[in-house]
Chain A
Amino acid sequence: MMVKVSGMLRSSINYKFMEDVIVVRDLTKRFGHFVAVDNISFNVKKGEIFGFLGANGAGKTTAMRILCGLSRPTSGEASVGGFDIRHESEKIKKNIGYMSQKFSLYQDLKVWENIKLFAGIYGMKRNEIASKTDILLKELGFEKEKNTLVKDLPLGWKQKLAFSVAIFHNPKIVFLDEPTGGVDPITRRQFWEMIYNASQKGITVFVTTHYMDEAEYCDRISIMVDGRIEAMSSPKELKREYNAESIDEVFTLLATKSTRKEI
C-alpha cells in the first residue's frame, strides 16, 4: 500500500545542501517573432518536486521540451542530470522519464506490453522487466488489467500507467506535463501519492499543472507568465510574499498581468 505523505511534512525538508540536477541559465526559445520562452533561469535540486505553473501558452511545455531534448533552445544554457542540453541530449534521455500532455503510450498494445516495450528501450533486462512488472501491477492494483489493451482503460488509469512507465527504468528525473488533466479528484489524489513515492526514492519530479491545489503539494514552484518566470519559491514563501491565502490567489494575481493571448 502507498503511504500518504503530507505536503507540510515535505516542505520542512531542507534541500539547500543537495546537488542541482537541473540548471537553467537565460534559456530562450523563439518561433519567428514569437518568444515562447523568454530568458528563464532556475535550478532544481535532487529529489525535489518542482512545480512549473503558468496559464495556457505561458511557455511551460516549450521549456520542458527543451529540457528533455525534444526541442532546441534559441539561446541560453541548461544542463539536466549533469548533461548539456545542446550537445548531450541523448545522454540526458537515458536519465529521464517523460510523460507528455497528450497520452503517448501505444493504445493498441496491452498494459504489460507497453511496460515491456519502454523498459526494453531503456535497456532493462528481460527477467528484471518481468519481475518488476508484476510488482508494479500489484502496486497499482492493475493485476486484472495486465492483458487489457491500453485504449480500453479509463483515463485516470491510463495516466497512472503512463507515469509508472515513465519512472519504470528508475530515471534521475521525471518530467510530467499536465499529468492530471481531465482526471477525477480521487485519482488525482492517488496520482500525487505516486509522485511522492517516486520522490522518496530519490527521483526528481518536474511537473507542470493547472490545478492550484496540486501546486501546494510541490516543494517549490515557479509561476510563468508570457514566457518569463514571475515568481519562484516554496508555496509557503510565495503565499507570504504575496500576502495570499492560497497559491490560487498568487497565481491569479500574477497571471492577470499576461498580455499574451491563449494559443
Chain B
Amino acid sequence: MLGYLIEKEFKQIKRDWILPKLILIFPFIALILLPYAANFDIKDIRVVVVDNDKSSYSNQILNKLRANTSININYIEDTYAKAMDLIQEDRADMIINIPSGFEKDYIVNKNSKLLIAVNTVNGMKGSISAMYAQNIISDFSLEKNSSIQVINSPSMEIQPLYAFNKTLNYKFFMVPALMVMILTLICGFLPAFNIVGEKEKGNMEQINVSPITKPVFILSKLIPYWIIGAIVISIGFLVAWLFYGITPQGSIFTVYIFSFIFTLAISGLGLVLSNYAQTYQQAVFMMFFFIMILILMSGLYTPFNSMPPWAQAIGSFSPLKYFIDVMRCVYLKGSNIVELLPQLYALLGFVVVVNTWAILSYRKKN
C-alpha cells in the first residue's frame, strides 16, 4: 500500500511545474548568495587620525594601522572636534586620537594613553572595528614591552584565540549552517502544503474513506521528502566544495546520518501543521511563523551562547539548533558521531515526538 502512495507522491512532485526546479536550484542560489549577506568580516574601516604627539612612536602606530588590510587611514586631522565632524558626516568610522606627550609618557612612565572613538550606529561593525584597532595597538605595546591604556573601549583584555577557523573566514562558519536552513525551508514547507493541498482539492475525502492506516499515510508523505532532503543536502555539499572549497573536517557520513534524522524531524513538523490547517493560507502562515522562530532562535546568525538564558531555553526546542551545531562541529572541528551523541539524541527525540503527533493529529473522521 505504501509503495503505491510513495509512487504517487513522486509523480505529483515531478509533474508540478515549479517544484522540481525549485528543489534543484534553490540550494545553489541560496548557498551562492546568502554567505555574502551573512558576512561579518569587516573591511574598509575608514579611520581618521588625530596625532597630537607627532613622535616616532605615534608614527610607528600609524604605520602599523596602515599595514592592516581592513583599516584605511583616510584622514589626518589636527583636532578631535574636526575628526568628530567627519564621523558626523559619515565620512569616517573611527577616530584614533594620540595625545601629545604620548611617546614621553611611554618611555618615562611605561604607560601612556590613547583614545579610540568608534561610530557604533552599526553596533556590530563598530565593536569589531574597535577590536581590530585595539589588537594592533596591543601588538605594538607588546613589542615595546610596556602598556598603552586604550580609552573608551571594552575594559577587559581581549585575547581572541581563533581555533578551528584560523582564517576567520565567515563563510566556513555560515555555509554549513545555511545548508541546514535550506533543508528546513524545502523539507519543512513542502510537506506543510502537501496534506492541506489535498484537503483543498478534495482528494483527502477519497483517502479518508479508504482503509489506509494513519501511520502508512504519514509515512507516505514523509518518505518522499526524506529522499528530496538527501538530494538537497548533497547539492549543498557539492556547492560548498566547488564554490568555497569547504569540505567537512570530519566524516561526510556523520553529516549524512544527521541530515537524514533532521529531515524526518522538520518534515514531521510540516505535516503536523498541515493536519491542523484547513487552507493553504493557514498552512503558509503557520509554517512561516514557526520556521522564522526556529531559524532565528537556532544560532544561525547570532551566537547561541550569547542569548539570554530564557531565549536559550526556547532555542533548545529548535531542531535547527542541534543540526547547526552538528554541521559546524563536523565541518570545522571534525567531530565524530560519538562526540555528537547529545545532539543525536535530541534530534531523534524530535523525530519521535513530532511524527507521533503527525499520526495522531491526522483525522480520518470528524
Interface residues of A (CB under 8 A from B): 68-72, 89-90, 93-94, 96, 98, 100, 102-109, 113, 116-118, 120-123, 149
Contact = CB atoms under 8 A, between A and B. Distances in A.
B12 A69 contact: no
Contacts of B212: 121
Given A108-B12, A109-B8, 20 more contacts: A68-B209, A69-B209, A69-B364, A69-B365, A89-B365, A90-B213, A93-B210, A100-B202, A100-B209, A104-B203, A104-B204, A105-B206, A106-B8, A106-B12, A109-B12, A117-B5, A120-B3, A121-B4, A121-B211, A123-B211
B91 to A, nearest CB: 59
A72 B12 CA distance: 32
7 contacts: A89-B364, A90-B213, A93-B211, A96-B209, A104-B203, A106-B12, A107-B201
A38 to B, nearest CB: 19
A263 to B, nearest CB: 17
A70 B365 contact: yes
Nearest to A116: B4
A72 B365 contact: yes
A95 to B, nearest CB: 9
Contacts of B5: 117, 120-121
Nearest to B8: A117
A100 B205 CA distance: 7
Contact of B205 (A104, A116, A123): A104
A116 B1 CA distance: 11
B205 A102 contact: yes
B366 interface: yes
Contacts of B166: none
B11 interface: yes
Interface string B1-41: 10111011001100110000000000000000000000000
Contacts of B11: 108-109, 113
Nearest to B209: A98
Contacts of A102: 202, 205
Nearest to B201: A107
A103 B205 CA distance: 10
Interface of B: 1, 3-5, 7-8, 11-12, 15-16, 201-213, 364-366
A65 to B, nearest CB: 9
Nearest to B3: A120
B198 to A, nearest CB: 9
Nearest to A110: B11
Contact of B202 (A94, A103, A109): A103
A117 B9 CA distance: 11
Given A106-B8, A108-B15, A109-B12, A90 B211 contact: yes
Nearest to A90: B211
Nearest to A99: B206
Nearest to B15: A108
Contacts of B364: 69-70, 89-90
Nearest to B7: A117
A125 to B, nearest CB: 12
5 pairs of A and B residues whose beta carbons are closest in the complex:
A120-B4, A104-B206, A102-B202, A98-B209, A94-B211
B365 A71 contact: yes
A120 B11 CA distance: 15
Given A69-B364, A72-B365, A93 B8 contact: no
> Which of B4, B8, B206, B207 is packed against the most chain A CB atoms within 10 Å?
B206
Contact of A121 (B1, B201, B205, B366): B1
Contacts of A90: 211, 213, 364
A71 B364 CA distance: 8
B348 to A, nearest CB: 30
Contacts of B366: 70-72
Nearest to B198: A106
B174 to A, nearest CB: 38
A70 B208 contact: yes
A91 to B, nearest CB: 8
A238 B208 CA distance: 36
Q: Which of A69, A93, A108 has the most CB of B within 10 A?
A: A108
A100 B3 contact: no
A123 B211 CA distance: 9
A106 to B, nearest CB: 6
Nearest to B210: A121
Nearest to A123: B1
A142 to B, nearest CB: 19
A137 B205 CA distance: 24
The winner among A100, A104, A121 for most chain B CB atoms within 10 A is A121
B177 to A, nearest CB: 35
A98 B209 CA distance: 7
Given A69-B365, A70-B366, A90-B211, A120 B1 contact: yes
